[in-house]
Amino acid sequence: MISEDAGFSTKSVHAGETRDPQTGSVITPIYETSVFAFSSTKELIEVIGGGAAGYVYTRYGNPTVRAAEKKIAELEDAEDAAVFSSGMAAITTTLFTLVSSGDHVVSTRDLYGGTLEFFKNILPKFGVEVSLVEAANFNEIASSMRTNTKVIYAETPTNPTLKIVDMAKIAKLAEKKGLTAVVDSTFASPFNIKPIRLGVDVVVHSATKYLGGHNDLTAGVVCGSSDIIPKLKEMRKNLGGTLDPFAAWLLLRGLKTLGLRMEKHNSNGMQVAKYLAKHPKVKRVYYPGLRSHPQHSIAKKQMKGFGGVVSFEVNGSSEKTMKFVENLKLCSLAASLGGAETLVTQPTASSHYFVEEKMRKEAGITDQLVRLALGIEDSKDIIADLEQAFNKI
């Protein structure tokens, strides 16, 4: 048992897990089973009806999965959490739980491509309207409210231009209007920011990224109050976006080193951003840790560190940008982030490939934009790789 005021890494290691009573195993076992047996029908009815603790069917719940939920809830300072088979499963299940036909959602325009696709093309099929607004313009967010608005949704930092949303302001607006404030905090991680402390109602993550941390699992998580999370789990049960127990075990393993990894991601992010900001072949750098960032003061106020993602525009053509990316050797061309390895992409050819060109331009996503997801290698080696690639263009 750990105390409530334990440090982040102590919680990362111990929260949500207890020594296995049967074997003494220090590590939570993988309960790789689809069903759980009972000694009597009465016992089954008590568990399935919620009158007694236990598990019935892994789509409903599982001990390994539950341990991961408890650990993440502790790290986010949330009352509870629900894990999912992917980040998109977490996001879509959250929205389907919170809104119904005839409702309205206000969301920042700067979003992961999959989320944007869901808001633009899927939710409207179910009679839900979505207004997409400028992430850095709070007045535009506030003026977009309607009588039927139910949710304010935001990413911070945003993907891929790393704009910062003032979460305390969003939370106060939502409280004033009686709405639910939902924030995708994937790029920050609970190490760098605590949205619930700032008044946000629901926090979502693609746990595939920093929470897992090793590029070896796909998962999502939603954190919130003990009122909201059971409703999400009921929707998860019906939609089927359940996390597999083995993936939950990998997530538990990854979470143990989250604090250590984030310190290195943050350090690499700052050092590489400063290097890029001085480079003659770089037109612009997007990183909230730089004083030149338009929302640096907000980031400094609400974040402990600024993360391991740095985006920048190459000072040249689309072809030169592509040549730069393809000449990297240490940094792999791959569309993810948050793992031990440094990954690089052009968002127009990966996360935002299916986003219409007009919307990409409105969000500042050009063909020259490069998203660098820094791993935990030594920064001098990452910078050396970037330098040799710049020399090729």
Q: How confident is the model at residue 306 (pLDDT cuts 50, 70, 90)?
A: very high
336-358: b (≥16 Cβ within 10 Å) or e: bbbbbbbbbbbbbebbbeebeee
Active site residues: 59, 112, 184, 209
| Mean pLDDT in residue range 233-240 | 97
Task: Give burial (CB, 10 Å; 0-12/13-18/19+) of 291.
Answer: exposed
Instruction: Identify the structural domains of the chain with CATH numbers, from first to last.
Output: 8-255 (3.40.640.10), 258-391 (3.90.1150.10)
Name the CA dihedral angle for 249, 252, 256, 262, rounded to a multiple of 10 degrees.
Answer: 110
Nearest CA among 303, 311, 221, 314 for reference residue 273 = 311
Mean pLDDT of the chain: 95
pLDDT digits (tens, 9 = 90+) for 263-280: 999 999 999 999 999 999
Identify whether the C-beta of residue 104 lies closer than 8 Å to the C-beta of residue 285. no
Please check the confidence at residue 1 and state whether its pLDDT lies above 70: no
pLDDT digits (tens, 9 = 90+) for 42-55: 999 999 998 899 99
| Mean pLDDT in residue range 147-151 | 98
Q: What backbone torsions phi and psi does residue 388 show, to the nearest 5 degrees?
A: -65, -30
Supply the pLDDT for residue 348. Answer: 82
Supply the pLDDT for residue 351. Answer: 67
| Mean pLDDT in residue range 214-222 | 98
CA–CA dist 206, 208 (Å, integer): 5
Residue 301: CB atoms within 10 A of its CB come to 13
pTM: 0.95
